[in-house]
Structure 1
């Protein structure tokens, strides 16, 4: 009995397990005032139903996004001057954009973002994606002149002293690899087979709030609190589907609570329209209807599965940002 009593007392004295972050879906981040941000809650908005979005895909044409959302283009493009790639023979590669944004309150006056500009942090966000560090010499656009459109003006990828670079690989899960195998069997033999994995390279960089490129990033967040840190992941090369990806996390002092901070996170992916436009080709073949690229990408296929990339962009974005919030709040 004495042991039972001691055990019960220990349980009652132990702090309750930290509550998991919950997701609150809203049409726009601006619809929730900073004062109304609840503890352990991620306020999340993606723009699949935006007035600019294509109703059939939920993606926004790059040109429309760049014209109507100049602040987003400035801070969330691969680099501010980025435009859709143009071909030597004329014409350009049309892109469509997926945009997600989230905000959460952190119960700390300061957040050391430097600890998150690391391979270890990226590995914790999604264990299904495997990563390895790379050098500037291994960054694909640095060595291929035909990828000059993916190079930021005045510098090469992976040479910033405050940056690390990684090569990431993810093998699709569930029934998607079987579907890809079937697609390859039905394709013209002269065409290169579609891989059942995605690989991409990224630069992860910690940016001082005093650097000119982010000095007025408060215009993007819409919060009048001092910016204490900016962390960005720029995915500058992928083996298929994606033209570029960006994740930007901005931490600011809470305007009304000296003991708290506010994090605003943006996730943007630019997708190649020449891939999306295979919808008719796949949709007309009954056996391939679950492999329509736009449906798979946006999580609307019965082949979508899990919580990683195979789940589709919307679910993946929610899971990754929620994982970020959990890690930052705990540490």
Structure 2
């Protein structure tokens, strides 16, 4: 009777729940429970800076070459040089998650997610508009050239969808930014109360597709993978990457394993410059590192205003629920 009622009323499928673990790779596949996403980020990593909980990009790139190869904006990406003497130093936030899907990997079609509709569903607070290669900022702006791959321009691949996205900060953050702008010197450019970014979303193709087990650590066939590269951002963030990898379950023909990665590279000059806020009582809640890591009373919602840890969890949970309903 319960099953009949559920079918007749179109009851909503059970949603995924997140379970925090020290490291995704440490959990055997057989121990991943149904409708459970195992999730780990780098906040307690030995490489993380104790004051920001972010990992310096150079340390991350040097100690984790496989992750750098697949999760950097492109494999040869290095910290940009602002002039002959100065590098733009970066820090990274990295999250990784894994979950089981109750159908063969070959039955799941990630090409359905390479579009604006997918981005809208995983974070409804962000607005998106399709763009073309003519709108590719790093190809036109010399100051952003370091975010351009050496072998091509963004948005030129016929299989890629390029998007301009805009997120307006929520909760108390806009009022805090307005106050900060009033206290800034008039000669300084006002801090925007929004984040705008350009990204490219597409399926991963061969030969990279066949190489992805070296990243996931699972010895099984990769049937498809989807990536979003955020290659230009108007403030704070240097670049971002979302990579979802779908593999056949190693021992269960009727199941698939999805591994999702989110990496955000943050500009250290913003983190360091605005630590001065901590000495101004009215602005203490706007210290960038605290906002980014969700430790400010100004954090709210489930998107970027919540801080990167909650933002990553919300996006990954939304992706898991979408794949489950496929």
- With structure 2 as the length reference, what TM-score do the two structures score? 0.96
User: Residue 306 of structure 2 is aligned with which of 311, 317, 330?
Assistant: 311
User: Residue 108 of structure 1 is aligned with which of 88, 103, 108?
Assistant: 103
Whether the 8 Å contact between 2:42 and 2:95 is mirrored in structure 1 is: yes
- In structure 1, distance between residues paired with 2:99 and 2:3: 35
Aligned to 2:116: 119
Deviation by residue 1:195-243 (Cα, 9 ceiling, x = unmatched)? 00000000001113xx123431101100011000111000000000000
**Cα RMSD for the two superposed structures:** 1.6
- In structure 2, distance between residues paired with 1:185 and 1:17: 48
Alpha-carbon distance, 1:279 to partner: 4.4
User: Residue 11 of structure 1 is aligned with which of 5, 18, 22?
Assistant: 5
- In structure 2, distance between residues paired with 1:275 and 1:67: 23
- In structure 1, distance between residues paired with 2:283 and 2:123: 29
Aligned to 2:218: 223
Q: Is 1:25 aligned to residue 20 of structure 2?
A: yes
Whether the 8 Å contact between 1:142 and 1:151 is mirrored in structure 2 is: yes
Aligned to 1:207: 204
Whether the 8 Å contact between 1:224 and 1:255 is mirrored in structure 2 is: yes
State how 1:151-170 maps to structure 2 within 5 Å. 151-170=148-167
- In structure 1, distance between residues paired with 2:3 and 2:161: 48
- In structure 2, distance between residues paired with 1:151 and 1:12: 50
Whether the 8 Å contact between 2:161 and 2:202 is mirrored in structure 1 is: yes
Aligned to 1:60: 55
Alpha-carbon distance, 1:311 to partner: 0.4
User: Residue 302 of structure 1 is aligned with which of 297, 302, 308?
Assistant: 297
Aligned to 2:275: 280
Aligned to 2:70: 75
Aligned to 1:130: 127
Alpha-carbon distance, 1:19 to partner: 1.3
Runs of 4+ with >6 A deviation: none
Aligned to 2:249: 254
Deviation by residue 1:97-151 (Cα, 9 ceiling, x = unmatched)? 0000000111111210100001111111111100000000001111112322101
- In structure 1, distance between residues paired with 2:48 and 2:3: 57
- With structure 1 as the length reference, what TM-score do the two structures score? 0.94
Shift in alpha-carbon separation, 1:115–1:281, aligned structure 2, 3 A: same
State how 1:255-270 maps to structure 2 within 5 Å. 255-270=250-265
- In structure 2, distance between residues paired with 1:87 and 1:227: 39
- In structure 1, distance between residues paired with 2:87 and 2:3: 69
**Secondary structure, aligned partner of 1:277:** helix
What runs of 5+ residues in structure 1 fail to find an aligned partner?
Answer: 1-6
Aligned to 2:284: 289
Q: Is 1:320 aligned to residue 306 of structure 2?
A: no
Shift in alpha-carbon separation, 1:226–1:12, aligned structure 2, 3 A: closer
- In structure 2, distance between residues paired with 1:321 and 1:47: 16
- In structure 2, distance between residues paired with 1:233 and 1:329: 20
- In structure 1, distance between residues paired with 2:286 and 2:141: 31
What runs of 5+ residues in structure 2 fail to find an aligned partner?
Answer: none
Whether the 8 Å contact between 1:25 and 1:43 is mirrored in structure 2 is: yes
Shift in alpha-carbon separation, 1:301–1:162, aligned structure 2, 3 A: same
Q: How many residues align?
A: 323
Aligned to 1:3: none
Aligned to 1:185: 182
